[in-house]
Structure 1
């Protein structure tokens, strides 16, 4: 019995000690909550009460650090759900970011706590206008009405939601359709400043640089986006499309330099077909194709290619010169002179252009004189005897005495035939004629030259050696 009493006393002491330990631990834990937590919060830079969080959010709003302000407002509301001003500020920031559904909930929560607040009610009405404007811009963009869509999207960004990246990126797409590439680069720059890993901004900024033919910068944007998301469909398409374009262009240029002209033509055409809208780059493809076609003597196609280059850049001197050369190939003498004269005016010191212009002017002059070979119906390689036979045959055919019913026409024809024979029947004159030299001023140019009938009232005797074919007259008299 005595032993049992001793054990019972020991258990009682142990129990009292255990209870005392529990009380000590509770005290320590309470001290941690009361004293250590504020200290840790202070060390972390985080305010421990809703008022401090709200104040810091207000300061962030003043310096336009809206994301940081929003985080503090959310924390303040969690700490004190009755802090009405935090809901209003939160709603305003959410509207700036065009998070309209969340913003609407915050406005309504504030108005539950502060009914009939006119300023908040006005902002809520503006939120609905902003949401409507953004929806309208999207719908107009999808329907292809880009000009009207841009009006709505500017209203969203400039008036209601200046921090709305969705609206800004839609604006960039609209700027790309309007070919305002510099503005597109500027707009995407603002988005990437806020979020440097925004994939859509990287894609659209890359496209803007691409259409400015700044391909190296475009590739860097595509590559950065693909490092963030290797399976991004639009980025992959843009990147590999550009790489293919550059590959085809290099192949065309290499083949042209190696003299493989027909292969170069096909590759230039393939490169042009890859993106017909890429005008800043296609101007050089058109020019390269034109130069190769000129070398091949395919004048008509060359004129088309060089005209394509000049439609993009009317000041492109080399395209103007090459089109002049192409027009010479198709015997468009006047067109060739016009192009080469314009090129010479743009670059008066270029001797190659001046020489080409002189060739064109000479060709034009030759084209305007009468073709004596054609008049006599002979080739340019005809022998002296062939020239003489042709002359006698035509002179007999068009002799005015044999064409009484159409004497005026016959006299004109007979005059042409005689003038042709005078030039081609004389070896020295024929040589000068063939080389394009002037023989007698005005001869063969449609006026005042050789006239077998002489002046008015005069007589002209025209003799054939050996008489007319078939005998008879040794000559005839007018």
Structure 2
């Protein structure tokens, strides 16, 4: 019979054996995890050296999971986060690294740097002072402390200068502060306000843009950025930024109505430009006028819309209306050489070639390398010279903007009217023959796109003096063309029209 004492002793031995086995298993697991963590730490370090940051981050994540008490693993991962521009993610890892190993100089230096760049001067000062207290000869950190000391005062002075409307003075001090604290959204927002006050919206946008990432859910930043691009006349970029605001808050009380307006305007601007590119002049004008209804006040969009109206009316041959529209553009922007060239085109449509030459020359005075203005002067001078000869548009009685059907209709009517077979008197027949030849010549030139283009550019394709020798020969209608046969005399054919 086993005594109670013997039984209890056996139970103790069993418990000790179980504990020993459990410790062996635990130690074996810890060692295995430690070995696995070391392997991922080494692999992560190799990936980091190769610049493969995402792979490095993946290995450091696994190393932290396997060995959550290794200060170096947290520090390595923080380094990758910083390289990826994720300072907010780096800070907890630096905190943990310092917690596991107090006075870890590399981590303290790195954390102090992050605080400084974020504009958290008190926290940065605390980390740097702790390092210097243990190592007064750490010149890198001593230099940081020397930079932080005057920084507070300069930031306060910049705020005072802004309040006193000394925007340039504030910008100088803020720029110096931002060099040291590039991740401080408040400094960038203040400098952006200074740029706005100076009218430099582009620089203001460049300061607001990073704040949309430096602040969490920064809907005010996206709204501000959308408005800046809108004021600069960039509807597409304004639309992009307001969409970012709505991603954070689909029902944002400011962003949603602004989005609807910008979306409509961006579409109208695109369509107006597309009509212009396709030479659909009337549609271009209509869409540009719709832009003015959507945005009647914004300078950039009003300027763009009126410029489209000026250009498309001029290209469409609406001389007087185009001149009026171009005058409105030049009232807004007196040195707009494109509007000057468009106004010159309108004067050409009105056959006022002298004024067209003056307008093209004015554009050249602003931009001597302007090819359109230079070629425009030459073309207007040719047109002026040709206007003293045959004017094919006047012969057919059609405007310079006439379409092919309109030209052919005018030709048929005049050809019937002046056909020589209708006249008996020799003098009348001779005069009718000359008129008929002019009508036929006008129809040949104006109904042929290539010849018409030459004529509109100041060159008469049926004028032998303007053609290369042998190109047209002595025949003013070109080779093989004469409605009356050889010499234009003694014709006896009947002219039929379909």
CA distance, structure 2, for counterparts of residue 60 and residue 295 of structure 1: 64
- How far the C-alpha of 1:285 sits from its partner, in A, is 2.0
- Among 285, 294, 298, the residue aligned to 1:275: 298
Partner of 1:222: 242
CA distance, structure 2, for counterparts of residue 74 and residue 234 of structure 1: 39
SS at match of 1:45: helix
Partner of 2:16: 20
SS at match of 2:63: coil
CA distance, structure 2, for counterparts of residue 353 and residue 135 of structure 1: 67
CA distance, structure 2, for counterparts of residue 163 and residue 302 of structure 1: 48
Contact persistence 1:181–1:208 (CA under 8 A) = yes
Partner of 1:45: 63
CA distance, structure 2, for counterparts of residue 343 and residue 188 of structure 1: 42
CA distance, structure 1, for counterparts of residue 163 and residue 94 of structure 2: 37
Residues 353-411 of structure 1: CA deviation (Å, up to 9, x unaligned): 967xx9xxxxxxxxxxxxxxxxxxxxxxxxxxxxxxxxxxxxxxxxxxxxxxxxxxxxx
CA distance, structure 2, for counterparts of residue 194 and residue 86 of structure 1: 22
Please give the TM-score of this superposition, normalised by the length of structure 2: 0.49
Q: Do residues 310 (structure 1) and 328 (structure 2) align?
A: no
| 1:252-271 alignment, distance < 5 Å | 257=282, 269-271=292-294
- How far the C-alpha of 1:95 sits from its partner, in A, is 0.5
**1:234/1:310 Cα in 2 relative to 1: closer, same or farther (>3 Å)?**
same
Instruction: Give ranges in structure 1 of 5+ residues lacking alignment.
Output: 359-478
Partner of 2:358: 341
**1:247/1:92 Cα in 2 relative to 1: closer, same or farther (>3 Å)?**
closer
**1:257/1:55 Cα in 2 relative to 1: closer, same or farther (>3 Å)?**
closer
Residues 154-203 of structure 1: CA deviation (Å, up to 9, x unaligned): 11133x22454554455456556656566567667878899999767766
Matched pairs, number: 342
Partner of 1:95: 116
Q: Do residues 239 (structure 1) and 259 (structure 2) align?
A: yes
**1:305/1:143 Cα in 2 relative to 1: closer, same or farther (>3 Å)?**
farther
**1:270/1:145 Cα in 2 relative to 1: closer, same or farther (>3 Å)?**
farther
CA distance, structure 1, for counterparts of residue 285 and residue 94 of structure 2: 70
- Among 97, 100, 104, the residue aligned to 1:83: 104
Contact persistence 1:90–1:106 (CA under 8 A) = yes
CA distance, structure 2, for counterparts of residue 312 and residue 173 of structure 1: 30
Instruction: Give ranges in structure 2 of 5+ residues lacking alignment.
Output: 41-61, 276-280, 363-372, 388-498
CA distance, structure 2, for counterparts of residue 171 and residue 28 of structure 1: 63
Q: Do residues 284 (structure 1) and 304 (structure 2) align?
A: yes
CA distance, structure 2, for counterparts of residue 134 and residue 324 of structure 1: 58
Contact persistence 2:196–2:204 (CA under 8 A) = yes
CA distance, structure 2, for counterparts of residue 137 and residue 350 of structure 1: 58
Residues 10-55 of structure 1: CA deviation (Å, up to 9, x unaligned): 9636733663355236524751575245235334234877774598
Please give the TM-score of this superposition, normalised by the length of structure 1: 0.50
Larger radius of gyration: 1
Contact persistence 2:109–2:127 (CA under 8 A) = yes
- How far the C-alpha of 1:133 sits from its partner, in A, is 3.6
Contact persistence 2:357–2:377 (CA under 8 A) = no
Contact persistence 1:38–1:48 (CA under 8 A) = no
- How far the C-alpha of 1:79 sits from its partner, in A, is 0.4
Residues 99-156 of structure 1: CA deviation (Å, up to 9, x unaligned): 2232133234445555797764552342243344445445655665432332122111
- How far the C-alpha of 1:78 sits from its partner, in A, is 0.8
Contact persistence 1:321–1:353 (CA under 8 A) = no
CA distance, structure 1, for counterparts of residue 262 and residue 63 of structure 2: 49
